[in-house]
Amino acid sequence: MISAEKILSQAEAICQQRSVRLTPQRFEVLRLMSEQNGAISAYDLLDLLRASEPQAKPPTIYRALDFLLEQGFIHRVESTNSYVVCHHFEEPSHTSAMLICGRCGSVTEQQADGVEDILKSLALKSGFKLSHSVIEAHGFCQQCGEIEACTHQDACQHDHSVQSKKRGR
Ligand SMILES: [Zn+2]
Ligand SMILES: [Zn+2]
Ligand SMILES: [Zn+2]
Protein backbone atom coordinates (compact mmCIF):
# COMPACT_ATOMS: atom_id res chain seq x y z
CA MET A 1 0.00 0.00 0.00
CA ILE A 2 1.51 3.35 -0.94
CA SER A 3 0.60 6.66 0.66
CA ALA A 4 -1.68 9.30 -0.80
CA GLU A 5 1.23 11.75 -1.15
CA LYS A 6 3.24 9.21 -3.10
CA ILE A 7 0.31 8.49 -5.42
CA LEU A 8 -0.14 12.20 -6.11
CA SER A 9 3.52 12.98 -6.68
CA GLN A 10 3.88 9.97 -8.98
CA ALA A 11 0.83 11.08 -10.95
CA GLU A 12 2.26 14.59 -11.30
CA ALA A 13 5.59 13.25 -12.54
CA ILE A 14 3.93 10.91 -15.05
CA CYS A 15 1.71 13.69 -16.42
CA GLN A 16 4.76 15.88 -16.89
CA GLN A 17 6.54 13.07 -18.75
CA ARG A 18 3.53 12.52 -21.00
CA SER A 19 2.87 16.25 -21.46
CA VAL A 20 -0.73 15.93 -20.35
CA ARG A 21 -2.35 18.36 -17.95
CA LEU A 22 -3.21 17.31 -14.46
CA THR A 23 -5.52 20.25 -13.85
CA PRO A 24 -6.27 21.30 -10.26
CA GLN A 25 -9.70 19.66 -10.63
CA ARG A 26 -8.29 16.34 -11.86
CA PHE A 27 -5.70 16.51 -9.12
CA GLU A 28 -8.38 17.11 -6.50
CA VAL A 29 -10.44 14.14 -7.69
CA LEU A 30 -7.38 11.89 -7.53
CA ARG A 31 -6.54 13.26 -4.09
CA LEU A 32 -10.04 12.52 -2.78
CA MET A 33 -9.88 9.02 -4.23
CA SER A 34 -6.48 8.34 -2.70
CA GLU A 35 -7.98 8.97 0.73
CA GLN A 36 -10.61 6.26 0.34
CA ASN A 37 -10.31 2.84 1.84
CA GLY A 38 -11.35 1.19 -1.38
CA ALA A 39 -13.65 2.09 -4.22
CA ILE A 40 -16.01 5.04 -4.44
CA SER A 41 -18.92 5.80 -6.74
CA ALA A 42 -18.96 8.85 -9.01
CA TYR A 43 -21.82 10.38 -7.03
CA ASP A 44 -20.09 9.95 -3.68
CA LEU A 45 -17.03 11.57 -5.25
CA LEU A 46 -19.14 14.44 -6.49
CA ASP A 47 -20.40 15.00 -2.94
CA LEU A 48 -16.82 15.18 -1.68
CA LEU A 49 -15.68 17.45 -4.51
CA ARG A 50 -18.49 19.88 -3.75
CA ALA A 51 -16.83 20.68 -0.43
CA SER A 52 -14.15 22.57 -2.36
CA GLU A 53 -16.06 23.18 -5.62
CA PRO A 54 -19.73 23.85 -4.94
CA GLN A 55 -20.37 24.32 -8.68
CA ALA A 56 -19.23 20.79 -9.59
CA LYS A 57 -21.73 18.77 -11.64
CA PRO A 58 -21.79 15.10 -12.72
CA PRO A 59 -20.02 15.85 -16.05
CA THR A 60 -17.21 17.48 -14.05
CA ILE A 61 -16.60 14.23 -12.24
CA TYR A 62 -16.96 12.02 -15.30
CA ARG A 63 -14.50 14.12 -17.29
CA ALA A 64 -11.96 13.92 -14.47
CA LEU A 65 -12.54 10.16 -14.09
CA ASP A 66 -12.12 9.62 -17.85
CA PHE A 67 -8.80 11.40 -17.75
CA LEU A 68 -7.59 9.43 -14.73
CA LEU A 69 -8.71 6.14 -16.31
CA GLU A 70 -6.96 7.05 -19.56
CA GLN A 71 -3.73 7.72 -17.71
CA GLY A 72 -4.08 4.46 -15.80
CA PHE A 73 -4.15 6.15 -12.39
CA ILE A 74 -7.44 4.55 -11.42
CA HIS A 75 -9.42 1.43 -12.25
CA ARG A 76 -13.12 1.02 -12.74
CA VAL A 77 -14.73 -1.68 -10.64
CA GLU A 78 -17.44 -2.80 -13.04
CA SER A 79 -19.40 -5.00 -10.68
CA THR A 80 -19.98 -2.25 -8.12
CA ASN A 81 -19.98 0.64 -10.60
CA SER A 82 -17.27 2.47 -8.71
CA TYR A 83 -13.67 3.60 -9.06
CA VAL A 84 -10.47 2.86 -7.18
CA VAL A 85 -6.95 4.28 -7.25
CA CYS A 86 -4.39 1.98 -8.86
CA HIS A 87 -1.61 1.10 -6.47
CA HIS A 88 1.05 0.43 -9.04
CA PHE A 89 0.40 2.67 -11.97
CA GLU A 90 4.09 3.04 -12.73
CA GLU A 91 3.58 -0.24 -14.58
CA PRO A 92 1.78 0.69 -17.77
CA SER A 93 -0.20 -2.50 -18.37
CA HIS A 94 -0.73 -4.81 -15.48
CA THR A 95 -3.47 -7.22 -14.62
CA SER A 96 -5.11 -6.42 -11.33
CA ALA A 97 -7.13 -8.63 -9.11
CA MET A 98 -9.63 -6.59 -7.15
CA LEU A 99 -10.62 -8.23 -3.90
CA ILE A 100 -13.95 -6.63 -3.08
CA CYS A 101 -15.45 -6.94 0.38
CA GLY A 102 -19.23 -7.30 0.30
CA ARG A 103 -19.63 -6.06 3.86
CA CYS A 104 -17.45 -2.93 4.29
CA GLY A 105 -16.90 -2.22 0.58
CA SER A 106 -13.10 -2.14 0.82
CA VAL A 107 -11.21 -2.97 -2.36
CA THR A 108 -7.70 -4.38 -2.29
CA GLU A 109 -5.75 -4.45 -5.52
CA GLN A 110 -3.31 -7.28 -5.96
CA GLN A 111 -1.11 -7.79 -8.95
CA ALA A 112 -2.19 -11.00 -10.63
CA ASP A 113 1.02 -12.13 -12.29
CA GLY A 114 0.18 -15.81 -12.74
CA VAL A 115 -3.28 -14.95 -14.00
CA GLU A 116 -1.74 -12.47 -16.42
CA ASP A 117 0.34 -15.23 -18.03
CA ILE A 118 -2.76 -17.36 -18.49
CA LEU A 119 -4.70 -14.47 -20.04
CA LYS A 120 -1.80 -13.68 -22.37
CA SER A 121 -1.64 -17.22 -23.65
CA LEU A 122 -5.44 -17.33 -24.05
CA ALA A 123 -5.28 -14.09 -26.03
CA LEU A 124 -2.41 -15.33 -28.17
CA LYS A 125 -4.32 -18.51 -29.04
CA SER A 126 -7.27 -16.55 -30.35
CA GLY A 127 -5.23 -13.81 -32.01
CA PHE A 128 -6.63 -11.30 -29.58
CA LYS A 129 -4.62 -8.18 -28.79
CA LEU A 130 -4.80 -7.75 -25.05
CA SER A 131 -4.62 -4.23 -23.68
CA HIS A 132 -5.61 -4.53 -20.07
CA SER A 133 -7.73 -6.70 -17.87
CA VAL A 134 -9.22 -6.45 -14.43
CA ILE A 135 -10.29 -9.40 -12.36
CA GLU A 136 -12.95 -8.77 -9.77
CA ALA A 137 -13.33 -11.16 -6.88
CA HIS A 138 -16.07 -10.86 -4.27
CA GLY A 139 -16.01 -11.99 -0.68
CA PHE A 140 -15.16 -10.65 2.75
CA CYS A 141 -11.98 -8.93 3.88
CA GLN A 142 -10.18 -10.47 6.82
CA GLN A 143 -11.89 -8.31 9.41
CA CYS A 144 -15.37 -8.75 7.96
CA GLY A 145 -14.80 -12.46 7.44
CA GLU A 146 -14.24 -12.83 11.17
CA ILE A 147 -17.39 -10.89 11.96
CA GLU A 148 -19.45 -12.84 9.44
CA ALA A 149 -18.24 -16.10 10.98
CA CYS A 150 -18.94 -14.98 14.54
CA THR A 151 -21.46 -17.14 16.38
CA HIS A 152 -21.61 -15.37 19.73
CA GLN A 153 -23.08 -12.01 18.86
CA ASP A 154 -24.29 -11.36 22.40
CA ALA A 155 -20.84 -11.69 23.95
CA CYS A 156 -18.39 -10.29 21.39
CA GLN A 157 -16.77 -6.94 20.59
CA HIS A 158 -17.84 -6.84 16.94
CA ASP A 159 -20.10 -4.33 15.35
CA HIS A 160 -22.85 -6.56 14.03
CA SER A 161 -25.11 -3.66 13.13
CA VAL A 162 -23.52 -3.37 9.67
CA GLN A 163 -25.13 -5.80 7.29
CA SER A 164 -23.65 -6.86 3.99
CA LYS A 165 -24.31 -4.01 1.63
CA LYS A 166 -23.78 -3.04 -1.92
CA ARG A 167 -21.72 0.06 -2.53
CA GLY A 168 -22.55 2.61 -5.18
CA ARG A 169 -25.83 3.91 -6.50
ZN1 LIG B 1 -3.60 -1.18 -10.92
ZN1 LIG C 1 -14.69 -5.81 4.81
ZN1 LIG D 1 -19.26 -11.03 16.89
HEC readout, 114-157: HHHHHHHHHHHHCCCCCCCCEEEEEECCHHHHHHHHCCCCCCCC
Whether residues 103 and 36 share a domain: the answer is: no
pLDDT of residue 59: 95
Give me the pLDDT at residue 164, please: 57
- In this predicted model, which residue has the larger pLDDT, 91 or 134? 134
The SS3 of residue 110 is strand
Do both 48 and 120 map to the same domain? no
Asked if 20 and 74 sit in the same domain, the reply is yes
pLDDT for the residue 166:
45
Distances (CA, A) of 130 to 83, 95, 101, 119: 22, 11, 28, 8
pLDDT tens profile 140-164: 999 999 999 999 888 898 888 876 5
Indicate which ligand has the atom closest to the C-alpha of 71: 1
Query: Which ligand sits nearest to residue 141's alpha carbon?
Result: 2
| Residue range 50-55: mean pLDDT, rounded | 93
d(CA 133, CA 53): 33
**CA of residue 55 to ligand 2 center, whole Å:** 33
Measured CA to CA, the distance from residue 115 to residue 134 in angstroms comes to: 10
Question: What domain range includes position 134?
Answer: 93-169
Tell me how many domains the chain contains: 2
End position of a domain, from candidates 66, 87, 108:
87
Same domain, 99 and 36: no
Can you give the pLDDT at residue 114?
84
Query: Which amino acid appears at position 99 of this protein?
Result: L
The residue with greater pLDDT, 55 or 1, is: 55
C-alpha of residue 160 to centroid of ligand 1, in Å: 32
Looking at the structure, do residues 123 and 158 belong to the same domain, yes or no?
yes
- Binding-site sequence positions for Zn(2+): 101, 104, 141, 144
Task: Give the pLDDT of residue 163.
Answer: 66
153 alpha carbon – ligand 2 mean position (Å): 17
Ligand showing the shortest atom-to-Cα distance for residue 38: 2
- Give binding residues as ranges: 101, 104, 116, 141, 144
Same domain, 128 and 160: yes
- Regarding whether 74 and 22 lie in a shared domain, the answer is yes
CATH number at residue 121: 3.30.1490.190
Spacing, Cα 98 to ligand 2 middle (Å) = 13
Q: Give which of 31, 26, 109 is closest to 60, Cα–Cα.
A: 26
Range in 28-42, 137-151, 155-169 with the lowest mean pLDDT = 155-169
Q: What is the pLDDT confidence band of residue 93, given thresholds at 50, 70 and 90?
A: low
